[in-house]
Structure 1
Amino acid sequence: MRLIIAEKPSLARAIADALPGSPKREDGAIVVGDTLVTWCLGHLLEQAPPDAYDPAYKQWRLDHLPILPQQWKLIPRPKARGQLAVIRRLLKQASLVVHAGDPDREGQLLVQEVIHHLGWKGPVLRLLVSDLNRPAVSKALEHLEDNTRYQPLYRAAEARSRADWLYGINLSRAWTLVGRQAGHDGVLSVGRVQTPVLGLVVRRDAEIAAFQPRPFYVLWVDLAVEHGQLRAWWQPGEHHSLDDQGRLLTRAPAEDLVARLPGAKGKLARLETHHKRQAAPLPYSLSALQVDAARRYKLSAKAVLDACQSLYERHKLITYPRSDCRYLPETHFALAQKTLKNACGSDDSLAQWLAGADFTRRSKAWNDSKVGAHHALAPTGTQADMSRLSNTEANVFRLIVRNVLAQFYPMLSFREIKAEFDIAGEIFRAQGREILEPGWKPLFTTRDEALPLPPLHEGEPATVIDQAVEDRETRPPEPFTDASLIKAMMNIARYVEDPEVKRTLRDTDGLGTEATRAGIIETLITRGYLVRQQNALRASRTGHALIKALPEAASRPERTALWEQRLTAIAEQETAPAPFLDSLITDLRELLATADASRMHDAFGSAQGVEVPTRAKLQTKGRRNSGARRSSNGKSATRRRRSNKEPS
C-alpha cells in the first residue's frame, strides 16, 4: 500500500482527485485504489519547551541561560494529536511513503519531521506540486523522485528551526527578566527576524522625530520656443550655497536673478535625445505582489497572502503563491494563450487586455535557468468566475493575471529629452518624455508621469514669458507602510552599512522569506511593538525601548540575512549544520552577557513611540460597544501580562 502524506488537506484532495480511480473518504484520509492519501495541518510538531529538557527551566532565571539542548525533542502541537495518530495508524499499512510537502525548505521539513518522529524506516519518494489543478498534479505524480535528494534541504530547515529556538528562547528570557528588574511587566519577545524588522521601523521613526526641516529655493522660467512653450529650472553653480543634493540654501541669489529675467532672451545651448525601450514588469513573486497591492489597493501584506492562499487552495485559480521567483518555466509558454483565456473570460478589464495580447511574442519571463523550487505566480487555467471572489481576491487575481498578460505586449518605447537653455548667462534645464509605443504600459496606468516637450532643435531662440522663485522645505523620510517595509525586507542590503556585508547580501533573498514576511509584520503588531496608523506602521513605546535596550547587533539586519546565506549553503551541501549552530551559540553567549537592567530602565525612561491601547482601555471600549461583559476567564490583566509563556 502506498501512503502519500500531503502538507495540508487542500493538497491531499487535489492529489486524490488526480489519481486513477474513485476517491473514498475515511477518517483522516482518502483511499484511491491501492493508495492512501493523508495530510498534515501545517506543522504537526514543534520544538519542545525548555522544561521538557529540565523541569527546572519552567522557572525563568538568568543563571539558567543559555539553555542548550543536547538531544533535540519535538512534541505534537496543540490540536494536532488526532491527525498525528491517523498518520501513525496509516504508516502501519504502508509499504511505501510519498512525501508531498510544499516544494520549499519548510515544506520539506514539515512532512519529513513527522515521518522521522513516527519511526518510519521504509522507502520515501518525493512529490513536488506547485499547481493544484488536475493536469499539473497528474504530471507531478508521474515524476516522483527519491526523497534522499532533498535531505540537504531538510537539514537546512531543521537547522533553521533549532537556531530560531536557541535565539528566541534565550534572548527573550534574558530581556524579559532584565525588563522585570527595570519595572516592565510583561514578556519581551526577541527573534532573529522580527527584531531586526522592528529595528528598521524604530530607526525610521527616530529619523522622522529628529528631522529638522531646512528651507531651500528653486527658480523656474516659462520659455517661448519656436514650436510652443515649456518650463525650465535654474541650475545654480557650485559658487552658490548648495546642499549635497544641489539645492539652493539662500534666497538672495535667486531673487537677484529673477529680477533680470522678465523678457530675457537666450537660446537652446544643448539638446540630448535618447531612444529607450523598457520591457514589461516580470510576473510576480509574493513579496513583489504584496508591494504593488499595498500601493494600489492599500492592502496589508497579510491580506494579500490570505487572498493568494484562497485563490490557490479554494478557487484553484493561481499557482503556488509563496514563491520568491519572478520567472516561469519554458513549458508554460505554449499553454499561456489557453490559460489566460480561461483566466480573463469573466472580467471586462482582463478580457480587454487579453484582446490586445500577441501570443507570438516571447519575453524573458520564460526561463528555466531562473526557476528553482517555485516559479512566479500565474493563473492555472481554471475557468475564472469573478462573481465568486471577494473584492480583495478579485483585485489580487487581476494583478497576477495582468503581469503575465503584459509579457505578450510590445515593449514600452519612448524618447527621453533633456534640454539646457542659456538665459542671462545662466543654465536652465528642462526634460520630458515622448511616448513612441505605449506597449504594455496601459495595462498598468492610464497616464504618463513625464510630460512631453515641444519639438526642439539645438541653437533655437527662447524668450522668458514668466518666472518665479519658490520657497520649499526639505521633508522627513516617510514612515514605513506595509509596501515599503516588505520592500525593505526584500532589499535589506540597502540598510546595511558594512560594505563587505552589503556586497554579500545583494545576492541573498533578504530579511525573512516570501512565506513569513506578512506574518512577521502581524506578529509585531499583535505583540504591541508596531501600531498601524492609517497606512503607516509606527513603533510603539515598548518597541522603541526594546531596540534601545538590545545590543545593536541583535536589532540590525546583518545577522539574520547572513543566517539565510548560511542556511542556503547547507541546503546546497556547501557546509554542514553543526558549524552554523556552534557559531550561533558563541554569538548567543556574547549577546546574553550584555543583558542589563539599568540599560533597560534607561531605555524605557527615554523611549518615544506610539501609544498602544492597554488591555484595560480595550475592555472599557468593548463594554461601551456591547454592554457590560465580564472576562470569561476571570484573570486580571496584570496576571496575564506576567505569564511566562514562551514567545512563538
Structure 2
Amino acid sequence: MRLIIAEKPSLARAIADALPGSPRKQDGAIAVGDTTVTWCLGHLLEQAPPDAYDPALKQWRLDTLPILPSRWKLTPRARARGQLAVIRGLLKSAREVVHAGDPDREGQLLVQEVIEHLSWKGAVSRLLVSDLNRPAVQRALARLEDNARYQPLYRAAESRSRADWLYGINLTRAWTLTGRQAGHNGVLSVGRVQTPVLGLVVRRDAEIRDFTPHPFFVLWADLAVEHGTLRAWWAPGEQQPLDDQGRLLAREPAAALAERLPGAEGRLVKLDTQNKRQAAPLPYSLSALQVDAARRYGLSAQGVLDTCQALYERHQLITYPRSDCRYLPEEHFAAARASLEGACRADDTLRQWLAGADFTRRSRAWNDKQVGAHHALAPTGRPMDPSRLSATEANVFRLIARNVLAQFYPPLSTREVKAEFRILDEAFRARGQEILEAGWKPLFTTRDEAPPLPTLTEGEACRVSAAGVEDRETRPPEPFNDASLIKAMMNIARYVEDSAVRRTLREHDGLGTEATRAGIIETLVERGYLVRKSKALRATRLGSALIASLPEAASRPERTALWEQRLSAIAEEGADPAPFLGDLISDLRGLLASADAGRLREALATSRGEEPAAVGRAPAKRRGATSRRRSGASTGTGRGTRRAGRKRGSS
C-alpha cells in the first residue's frame, strides 16, 4: 500500500479526488485503489515541555535557566492523538510513503516530523501541491520527487522551532519569576514575534501620549481663470518661519498677504500635465485582505481569518486562504472565465461586476515566477448563494472575487495636473485629477481622489476673487488598529534603520506569517497586553511595563531578520544548524542576565496605558496556571496553546 500523508484534510481530499478509482472513506483516511491518503491536522506534534527532559524543571526557578535540551523531544498534541494513531497504524501496512505537506518550510516540517517520530525507516517521496484543482494535483502526482532533496528545508524549519522554544521558554520563565519578585503575580510571556509586535504598539502609544501639537497656517486663494475657477494654496518661501515639512508657523505673514490678494492679478507660470495608467490591485493575500476588510467592514484580523476558513472549508467557495502570495498560476488564466461565471452568477453585485469583465485581457497577476507554496485567494467556481452565507461571509467573498474580476478590467487612466501661479510675487499651487477611463476603479469606489481643474494654458492670466487663512494644528500619529497593525507587520522593514536588516525583512514578508498574524494580535489581547478601545488597539499598563523592562533588542523586529538570514542559509545552502543555535544560546544568556526585578518593579509602577477588559484579566491566571502545569509549553513560543489543525509558524 502506498501511503500519502497530507498536511490537512482539504489537501487529502483533493489528492484522493485526483487519483484514478473510487475513493473509499476510512477512519481518518481515504483509500483509492492501492493508495491510502491520510492527513495531519496542522502540527500533530509539539516541542516537549521542560519537565519531559527533567522532572525537576516542572518548577519554575531562575537558577535552572537557561534550559538547554541536549536531545530534543516532541510530544503529541492532546487533540491530535487520535489522528496520530491512525497514521501510526497505516504506516505498519505501507510499502512506500509520500510526504504531501505544503511546499514551504513549515509544510516540510509538519509532515516530516510525524514520519520521523513514528520511526518510518523506508524511502519517502515528496508531493508538491500548490493548487487544489484536479488537473494541477494530477500533474503533481506524476512528478514525485525524493524527499531527501528537501532535508535542508526541514532542518531550517526544525531549527526555527527549536530556537523559538529556547527563546520563549527561557525568557518567559525569567521575566515571570522576576515579575514575582517585583510584585506581579502572573505569567509575563515573551516571544520572538509577539513581543516586537507589542513593542510597535507601546512605542506608537508613547508617540501619541508625548506628542505636543503646534499650530500652523495655510493661505488659500480662489482664482478666476479663462475656463472657470479653482482654489490654489500659497507656497511660502524659505524666508518665512517654516517647520521641517514646510508648514507656516506664524499667522501674520499669511494674514497680511490675504488682505492684499482680493482683486490681485497673476499668471500661470508652470503647468505640469501627466497621463497615467494604473493597473488593478492584485488579488489578495490573507494579510492584504485583512487590511481591506478591517477598513471597509471593521472586522478584526482574526475575524477575517475565521471567515476565510469557513468560506474555504465549509462552503468551498475560495482557495486556500492562509497565503502570502498575490499572484495566480498562469494555467489558471484559461479557466478564469468559467470559474468566475460560476462563482458570481447567484449574486446581484457580482453579476454586475462580471458583466464588465473582458476575459481577453491578461494582467500581471498571472505569473508562475511569483507563486510560491500557495497562490493568491480566488473563487473556486462554486456559486456564491448569499442566502447560505452570513453577511460577513458574503462581504468577504465579494472582496476576494472583486480583486480577481478586476484583472479583466482596463487600467485606470487619469490626467494629473499641477499648476503654479505667480501672484504678488508669491507662488500659489493647485493640483487636480481627471479620470479619462475609469477602468477597474468603479469596482472599488465611486469617489474621485482629487477633483479636476478647469482647462489651463501655461502663461494665461488669473485673478483672485477671494482669499483666506485657515488655522490648523499638527496631529499625533493614529493609534494602531487591526488593519494598520497587520500592515505594519507586513511592512515591518519601515520600522528599522539598518539597511541590510530592512532588506532581509522585506525579502521574508515582514513579522509573523499570514497564518499567525491574526493569532498574535488576539494572543496579546487575551494576555492583557493590548486592549481594543473602539477600533483602536492600545497597550495596557502591563504591556507597556513588559516592554520597558525588556532589553530593547527583545522588543524590536531586527532579531527576526537576523534569524531569517541564518535560516535561509540552512534551507538554501545546506548550512549546519548548530552554529545558529549556538549563537542563539550565547545571545540568550546575555538577555537572561539583564532580567532585573528593580527595573521591572519601576516599570510596573510608572508605565502608562489602558486597563484591560475585565473578561481579559480573569483568564490570564488560568492561562498562567496552565503554562506552569505544562512547564511553559504554551508560553515558550509566545503564542499560547494552539489548536490542532493550525500550522504553527512564527512566535
Normalised by the length of structure 2, the TM-score is 0.94
Amino acid paired to 1:44: L
Q: Deviations over 1:81-100 (max 9, x none)?
A: 22212211110011011222
Q: CA deviation at 1:276?
A: 1.2
Q: Deviations over 1:587-627 (max 9, x none)?
A: 101111100000000110111111013469869xxxxxxxx
After superposition, the Cα gap between the structure-2 partners of 1:250 and 1:429, relative to the gap in structure 1 and judged at 3 Å, is: same
Q: Deviations over 1:519-542 (max 9, x none)?
A: 111111111111111211111111
Amino acid paired to 1:321: P
Partner of 1:44: 44
Instruction: Describe the SS at the equivalent of 2:78.
Output: coil
After superposition, the Cα gap between the structure-2 partners of 1:82 and 1:595, relative to the gap in structure 1 and judged at 3 Å, is: same
Partner of 2:460: 460
Q: Deviations over 1:546-567 (max 9, x none)?
A: 0000000000011113222332
Q: CA deviation at 1:470?
A: 0.6
Question: Partners of 1:371 and 1:448 in 2: how far apart?
Answer: 33
Matches within 5 A, 1:249-648: 249-573=249-573, 575-614=575-614, 640=625, 643=628, 645=630, 646=632, 647=635, 648=640
Q: CA deviation at 1:493?
A: 1.0
Partner of 1:626: none
Question: How many matched pairs?
Answer: 633
Deviates more, 1:86-95 or 1:573-582: 573-582
Question: Partners of 2:163 and 2:77 in 1: how far apart?
Answer: 19
Partner of 1:34: 34
The structure whose RCO (Cα within 8 Å, separation 6+) is larger is 2
Amino acid paired to 2:570: I
After superposition, the Cα gap between the structure-2 partners of 1:95 and 1:139, relative to the gap in structure 1 and judged at 3 Å, is: same
Partner of 1:172: 172
Amino acid paired to 2:235: Q
Q: CA deviation at 1:440?
A: 1.2
After superposition, the Cα gap between the structure-2 partners of 1:303 and 1:389, relative to the gap in structure 1 and judged at 3 Å, is: same
Q: Deviations over 1:274-327 (max 9, x none)?
A: 111111111111111111111111111111112222222222222222221212
Q: CA deviation at 1:253?
A: 0.6
Contact 1:152 1:572 in 2 (8 A): yes
Contact 2:97 2:124 in 1 (8 A): yes
Question: Partners of 1:63 and 1:34 in 2: how far apart?
Answer: 56
Partner of 2:64: 64
After superposition, the Cα gap between the structure-2 partners of 1:469 and 1:616, relative to the gap in structure 1 and judged at 3 Å, is: closer
After superposition, the Cα gap between the structure-2 partners of 1:616 and 1:416, relative to the gap in structure 1 and judged at 3 Å, is: closer
Deviates more, 1:306-315 or 1:246-255: 306-315
Question: Partners of 1:568 and 1:284 in 2: how far apart?
Answer: 26
Contact 1:362 1:407 in 2 (8 A): yes
Partner of 2:24: 24
Q: CA deviation at 1:574?
A: 5.2
Amino acid paired to 2:485: L
Question: Partners of 1:104 and 1:507 in 2: how far apart?
Answer: 15
After superposition, the Cα gap between the structure-2 partners of 1:640 and 1:96, relative to the gap in structure 1 and judged at 3 Å, is: closer
Q: Deviations over 1:330-363 (max 9, x none)?
A: 1111221112111211112221122111122111
Question: Partners of 2:130 and 2:219 in 1: how far apart?
Answer: 57
Q: CA deviation at 1:143?
A: 3.3
Question: Partners of 2:175 and 2:167 in 1: how far apart?
Answer: 12
Amino acid paired to 2:119: G
Question: Partners of 1:568 and 1:637 in 2: how far apart?
Answer: 38
After superposition, the Cα gap between the structure-2 partners of 1:643 and 1:53, relative to the gap in structure 1 and judged at 3 Å, is: closer
Partner of 1:202: 202
Question: Partners of 1:124 and 1:617 in 2: how far apart?
Answer: 48
Instruction: Describe the SS at the equivalent of 1:559.
Output: helix
After superposition, the Cα gap between the structure-2 partners of 1:160 and 1:640, relative to the gap in structure 1 and judged at 3 Å, is: closer
After superposition, the Cα gap between the structure-2 partners of 1:565 and 1:345, relative to the gap in structure 1 and judged at 3 Å, is: farther
Contact 2:526 2:616 in 1 (8 A): no
Instruction: Describe the SS at the equivalent of 2:209.
Output: helix
Q: CA deviation at 1:129?
A: 3.0
Instruction: Describe the SS at the equivalent of 2:418.
Output: strand
Partner of 1:624: none
Q: CA deviation at 1:135?
A: 4.1
Question: Partners of 1:17 and 1:642 in 2: how far apart?
Answer: 42
Amino acid paired to 1:22: S
Deviates more, 1:35-44 or 1:200-209: 35-44
Contact 1:126 1:146 in 2 (8 A): yes
Q: Deviations over 1:129-174 (max 9, x none)?
A: 3344444434433333322232222111111110100000000000
Q: Deviations over 1:483-533 (max 9, x none)?
A: 111111111111002344234433331111111111111111111111111
Contact 1:411 1:439 in 2 (8 A): yes
Partner of 1:94: 94
Instruction: Describe the SS at the equivalent of 2:260.
Output: coil
Q: 5+ unaligned residues in a row in structure 1: which ranges?
A: 620-634
Q: 5+ unaligned residues in a row in structure 2: which ranges?
A: 641-651
Question: Partners of 2:413 and 2:596 in 1: how far apart?
Answer: 60
Question: Partners of 1:305 and 1:125 in 2: how far apart?
Answer: 32
After superposition, the Cα gap between the structure-2 partners of 1:483 and 1:637, relative to the gap in structure 1 and judged at 3 Å, is: closer
Question: Partners of 1:567 and 1:406 in 2: how far apart?
Answer: 37
Normalised by the length of structure 1, the TM-score is 0.94
Question: Partners of 1:616 and 1:224 in 2: how far apart?
Answer: 60
Q: CA deviation at 1:637?
A: 7.5
Partner of 1:190: 190
Question: Partners of 2:363 and 2:290 in 1: how far apart?
Answer: 23
Instruction: Describe the SS at the equivalent of 1:80.
Output: helix
Question: Partners of 1:403 and 1:252 in 2: how far apart?
Answer: 50
Deviates more, 1:266-275 or 1:110-119: 266-275
Contact 1:185 1:642 in 2 (8 A): no
